[in-house]
Chains A and B, each alone.
Chain A
Amino acid sequence: MLHIHGLSRPGLQRVDLDVDAGTCIAIRGSSGAGKSLLLRAIADLDPADGEVSLKGMSRTLMSAPTWRKRVIYVAAESGWWDVTVGDHFSNPDIAAGYLVRLGFTDDAMSWPVSRLSTGERQRLALLRAIVLTPEVMLLDEPTSALDPEATAKVESILHEKRAAGTAIIMVTHDKAQAARMAEHRFVMTAGALSAEAAS
């Protein structure tokens, strides 16, 4: 579904990758290896060479906002631009259904962002991307600030999204998480992506 051909930019060597609907790819690697650069390049947030297409349609044929809504990038550090949590959701009603499953109470949409913990921010940043029903999700360490219990909640929602056809490319430091979530595992070393040796 997501087709990446010859994608490269400074700090990232040529990447060729195909991601099918409903599958998950995990990428591990040390800090600064270029994992985030790859996700950003796929989301078209940085200039890069190469061809990226979704369901046979090149991203150059659609506007950048349209592309980014269909192929959503969730950064490791979440950004917040308004006062309350709800201000950051285009459709708070859909989000409400997920809040309890992610460990929040019903009124979380009215909370001020300034009072959120790092882990709460991380879950809500993921949620505001999920409710836009993207076809591909690019997740940069989506559970790095979460305890095992909250991580399990996030993973169960991600599994559900996959079952509905969403493809996921996930950067994670957690080898066990990569094993739980992904059928294809890669390692990024000094800007070069390679398949992880079976162990």
Chain B
Amino acid sequence: MNSYIELSYMDIALAGMLLGINAMLSVYYKLGTEKRLVIAAVRMVVQLTLVGLILKALFAAVSPWLTLLAAIVMVGFAGREAMARQERHFKGVWGYGLGTGSMFAAAGTVTFFALATQFHADPWYDPRYAIPILGMILGNTMTGVSLALDRLLADADDGRARIEARLALGHTFREALQMPLRNAMRAGLIPTVNGMAAAGLVSLPGMMTGQILAGVEPVQAVKYQLLVMFLIAGGTALGVFAAVMLALKRLTDPRQRLRLDRLQGK
């Protein structure tokens, strides 16, 4: 298995020089992108190096508490990012809590399911499995949840006259929100559906490519990719569903009113 070509820091620096060429082109043609490019590249190097070190320590420790702490920090960041991507969000703790809670529940459930059934890690919380799986599911769930919530709250806000016209005619809140609900679910799931449909034809998924480069036999790599895609799709669908349903509940009250007063813009 370990027949992969180990990379030296020199190899990576060489690859980085590609960006250096781009930066020089940008300076020469006054494109003004060199600064952003360099800053983003430096950020990536620092962040990934730190993550590598943290993972190394985490994997060595195999502590349930440290693993849990890492998971909580990851979900926390994902929640903040999901909220930042929404144009409107709920006031108060709901703004942060709704997306974060749904992601935590969905990604946590799916990660636990994968650890318990496919990976048989020993101990089950072994961070070498738990953290990468959670990270992959979380990254995709975050995209789905933020897209779905953004769409739902925008449709509810912009469609106020439409929705309240139905409420005033005696339609239930669920009837009045039927279209926004469907649109939001669709918006949240489209990246995942598209990703599955295009996998292998348009692009080789990044994880699979990485594994093949690292010396894994292609059929094995495909199996892993399939597993991961299913976990991602399952986690995203669960997270999007939970977030949209909770948001719908928060958008109304026991008298089936449309409570836009609970929203705030950016």
Residues of A within 8 A of B (CB): 43-47, 63-66, 68-69, 72-75, 77-81, 90, 125, 128-129, 132
Contact = CB atoms under 8 A, between A and B. Distances in A.
B168 interface: yes
A77 B161 contact: yes
Contacts of A47: 253, 255, 257
B244 interface: no
A6 B172 CA distance: 27
Contact of A132 (B163, B164, B169): B169
B169 A128 contact: yes
Contacts of B253: 47
Contacts of B63: none
A46 B168 CA distance: 11
15 contacts: A47-B257, A64-B167, A64-B256, A69-B169, A72-B169, A72-B170, A73-B168, A77-B161, A79-B159, A79-B160, A79-B162, A79-B164, A80-B162, A81-B159, A81-B165
A78 B161 contact: yes
Nearest to B256: A64
B182 interface: no
B141 to A, nearest CB: 30
Given A64-B256, A81-B162, A45 B168 contact: yes
B255 A75 contact: no
A79 B166 contact: yes
B171 A79 contact: no
A142 to B, nearest CB: 13
B84 interface: no
A44 B255 contact: yes
A74 B176 CA distance: 16
A68 B173 CA distance: 12
Contact of A81 (B166, B170, B258): B166
Nearest to A65: B170
Contact of B169 (A63, A64, A66, A68): A68
Given A45-B168, A69-B169, A72-B170, 12 more contacts: A43-B168, A44-B255, A45-B167, A68-B167, A77-B161, A78-B165, A79-B159, A79-B161, A79-B165, A80-B165, A81-B159, A81-B166
Nearest to A138: B168
A65 B161 contact: no
Given A69-B169, A132-B169, A132-B170, A64 B257 contact: yes
Given A68-B168, A68-B170, A72-B168, A81 B179 contact: yes
A86 to B, nearest CB: 14
Interface residues of B, number: 21
A19 to B, nearest CB: 18
A119 to B, nearest CB: 17
A68 B256 CA distance: 10
A129 B168 CA distance: 9
B170 A45 contact: no
A196 B195 CA distance: 66
By CB atoms of chain B within 10 A, which of A46, A79, A80, A129 has the most? A79
A68 B172 CA distance: 10
Residue of B165, B172, B179 with most partner-chain A CB within 10 A: B165
Contacts of A45: 164, 167-168, 257-258
B165 A46 contact: no
A132 to B, nearest CB: 7
Interface string B171-199: 11000100100000000000000000000
Interface string B145-164: 00000000000000111111
Given A43-B168, A69-B169, A72-B169, A79 B257 contact: no
A90 B160 CA distance: 21
Interface string B3-46: 00000000000000000000000000000000000000000000
Contact of A74 (B163, B167, B168, B179): B168
Contacts of A77: 161
**List of 7 A-B pairs having minimum Cβ-Cβ separation, nearest first:** A79-B165, A69-B170, A79-B161, A79-B162, A64-B256, A73-B168, A64-B255
Given A46-B257, A47-B257, A81-B179, A125 B170 contact: no
A53 to B, nearest CB: 15
A167 B163 CA distance: 25
